[in-house]
């Protein structure tokens, strides 16, 4: 029910517009190009705007529902008029953009419900309750939430229901795919379904009853990325912290700091090599003494501790950066200890120090301001914007999701992928080839990902970034470094049997609930794939691993604006 009007856009039929305005009110329906351009503006993740950054696909219209019932009515309207749709919450990166020109963008910003239930250590939230809002409200009760690497402006509901996202506090806050409790969901057919305790009108405190878990069916590890309908409300876990009320913030932007509460310590442990770090890690996790355990590359610590890029470069050259930011000190853990009492704090501190020293490590000397800077970024997950500032473009790869036995190998392979192009004169931004972030989840397994910095204004640099990105997958297929977690869209199918039958199962779920593929996305599995193609795809891995093919794909991505 749409007509073409140029290379970017289709137009909404009068009948569809009339129905949408009846559902929502004319104020909350638009196809005005001046407004829709904001939904087509795409600088990817962490890139600065350069050139024409509008996507080639614009939404046919944007609607702003305020209730779950309105969302369901919009979805049913789309079905009646042969339109697709894509939910949009806070719009971090390109993940909220529509992926077909016949798609309605369902902007959920009016659905910002946020209710703290402190006695149950949980909250009930809508799609536009942001992580900083949730954390600020939770802290009034001595609680906090998990904040993913997208930072404080992301939607915890979107993180918990729809797309991979991990954050550095998951040693004690878990990660959001495990923090979702009861849920409310508008299916691609426009039906409203509640799960867990909410299904019986008993509140939002429990996710599943007896039998198979629905969170695995709807979310899994990676999530449907907007390809399985719209999630409108969830219960989400909160976690106790040793401070109640506002953080005591000092300094000024860009170097905001936070005073460490009582019974809290921030330590930076340095080890002689990665083997020693790995051995110490198992002991630290076994005794569960660390509230947060984060391995940042030294240059990323340097960017955090310096006010400007110019200061970072100057202090790198004159050798005045603090010990944790010096490039030869990569085998390290930044450790946060947060205790409820002096006795508990003494036990944690002494245990951590004993383990580190037993494995040949020592502790860097940090000034108070440096400790407060690192603590502030720990607590608020502001590391990402601090690290993004070093270049015009950034992406991430690898996604090692496995045992800490793989820690040394993950760092080694990451360096191998970046060494040539991050050297002086290389196509990537000059710096260290060590860009690996690593931390534990719930004391059980490692998450590691490799940051790739490139010049967003340079086609050659964008191509080098793309080569490093897809080259990681090819390297993983040839010489696995544990399980790969960043399996977006069709890469799941190409990866093949190493991740079992998950893509085939997800496709059955997608086809069952959305046989016409109205809930459009590129982050989910390929829908309605012919069985023969499904079988052939894993066999194509050698083709995708070929260096000539990789370079051709990288040049194409660089040319088209990675």
Helix (H, G, I), strand (E, B) or coil at 356: helix
The pLDDT of residue 18: 97
Instruction: For 484, list phi and psi in degrees, rounded to 5.
Output: -85, 125
For residue 308, the tally of other CB atoms under 10 A from its CB is 12
Pairing verdict, β 61-63 and 29-30: antiparallel
Residues 105-154: pLDDT tens digits?
999 999 999 999 999 999 999 999 999 999 999 999 999 999 998 888 89
Is 90 exceeded by the pLDDT of residue 491? no
CB 75 within 8 A of CB 192: no
In angstroms and rounded to an integer, the radius of gyration of the C-alpha atoms of the chain is 24
User: How many CA atoms lie less than 13 Å away from 28 in the CB half-sphere?
Assistant: 20
Spatial separation of the C-alpha atoms in residues 474 and 472, rounded to whole Å:
5
Reference 393, options 557, 222, 552, 524; nearest CA is: 557
Instruction: For 108, list phi and psi in degrees, rounded to 5.
Output: -100, 20
The pLDDT of residue 164: 87
Percent of the chain with pLDDT over 90: 64
Match 């260290």 to its residue by tokens.
Answer: 432
Helix (H, G, I), strand (E, B) or coil at 236: strand
Spatial separation of the C-alpha atoms in residues 487 and 500, rounded to whole Å:
13
Spatial separation of the C-alpha atoms in residues 28 and 20, rounded to whole Å:
9
Reference 26, options 39, 12, 37; nearest CA is: 12
Residue ranges covered by each domain of the chain: 2-107
Q: Is residue 530 exposed (0-12), middle (13-18) or buried (19+ Cβ within 10 Å)? A: exposed
Residues 270-314: pLDDT tens digits?
999 999 999 999 999 998 899 999 999 999 999 999 999 999 999
**Which CATH fold would you assign to the domain 2-107?**
3.30.43
Helix (H, G, I), strand (E, B) or coil at 244: coil
Is 50 exceeded by the pLDDT of residue 92? yes
Q: How confident is the model at residue 44 (pLDDT cuts 50, 70, 90)?
A: low
Q: What tokens appear for 204 in the block?
A: 């939002």
Task: For 46-58, give one letter per residue: b (16+ CB within 10 A) or e.
Answer: bbeeeeeeebebb
The pLDDT of residue 45: 66
């Amino acid at each position: 029910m749409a007509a073409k009007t140029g290379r970017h856009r289709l137009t909404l039929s009068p009948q569809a517009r009339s129905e949408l305005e009846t559902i929502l009110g004319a104020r909350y329906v638009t196809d005005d190009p001046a407004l829709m351009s904001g939904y087509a503006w795409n600088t990817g993740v962490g890139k600065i705007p350069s050139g024409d950054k509008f996507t080639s696909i614009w939404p046919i219209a944007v609607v702003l529902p305020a209730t779950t019932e309105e969302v369901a009515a919009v979805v049913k309207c789309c079905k009646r008029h042969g339109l697709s749709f894509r939910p949009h919450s806070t719009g971090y990166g390109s993940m909220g953009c529509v992926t077909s020109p016949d798609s309605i963008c369902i902007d959920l910003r009016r659905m910002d419900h946020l209710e703290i239930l402190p006695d149950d250590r949980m909250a009930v939230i809508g799609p536009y309750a942001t992580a900083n809002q949730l954390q600020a409200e939770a802290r009034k009760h001595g609680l906090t939430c998990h904040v993913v690497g997208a930072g404080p402006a992301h939607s915890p509901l979107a993180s918990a229901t729809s797309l991979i996202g991990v954050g550095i506090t998951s040693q004690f806050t878990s990660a959001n795919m495990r923090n979702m409790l009861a849920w409310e969901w508008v299916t691609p057919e426009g039906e409203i379904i509640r799960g867990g305790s909410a299904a019986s009108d008993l509140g939002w405190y429990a996710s599943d009853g007896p039998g198979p878990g629905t969170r695995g069916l709807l979310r899994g590890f990676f999530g449907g990325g907007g390809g399985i309908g719209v999630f409108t409300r969830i219960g989400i876990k909160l976690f106790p912290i040793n401070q109640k009320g506002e953080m005591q913030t000092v300094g000024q932007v860009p170097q905001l700091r936070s005073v460490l509460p009582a019974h809290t310590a921030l330590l930076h442990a340095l080890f002689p090599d990665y083997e020693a770090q790995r051995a110490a890690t198992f002991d630290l996790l076994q005794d569960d003494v660390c509230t947060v355990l984060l391995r940042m590359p030294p240059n990323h610590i340097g960017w955090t501790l310096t006010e400007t890029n110019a200061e970072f470069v100057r202090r790198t050259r004159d050798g005045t950066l603090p010990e944790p930011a010096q490039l030869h000190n990569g085998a390290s853990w930044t450790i946060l200890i947060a205790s409820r009492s002096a006795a508990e704090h003494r036990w944690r501190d002494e245990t951590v120090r004993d383990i580190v020293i037993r494995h040949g490590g020592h502790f860097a000397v940090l000034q108070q301001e440096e400790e407060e800077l690192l603590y502030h970024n720990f607590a608020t997950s502001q590391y990402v914007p601090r690290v993004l500032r070093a270049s015009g473009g950034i992406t991430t790869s690898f996604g090692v999701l496995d045992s800490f036995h793989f820690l040394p190998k993950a760092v080694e392979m990451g360096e191998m992928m970046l060494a040539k192009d991050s050297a002086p004169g290389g196509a990537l931004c000059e710096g260290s080839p060590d860009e690996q972030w690593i931390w534990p989840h719930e004391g059980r397994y490692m998450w590691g990902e490799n940051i790739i910095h490139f010049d967003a204004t340079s086609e050659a640099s964008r191509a080098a970034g793309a080569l490093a990105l897809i080259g990681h997958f090819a390297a993983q297929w040839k010489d696995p470094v544990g399980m790969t977690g960043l399996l977006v869209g069709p890469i799941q199918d190409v990866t093949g049997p190493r991740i079992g039958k998950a893509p085939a199962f997800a496709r059955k779920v997608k086809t069952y609930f959305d046989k016409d593929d109205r809930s459009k996305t590129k982050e989910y599995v390929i829908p309605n794939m012919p069985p023969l193609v499904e079988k052939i795809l894993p066999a194509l891995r050698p083709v995708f691993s070929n260096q000539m093919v990789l370079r051709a794909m990288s040049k194409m991505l660089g040319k088209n604006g990675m």
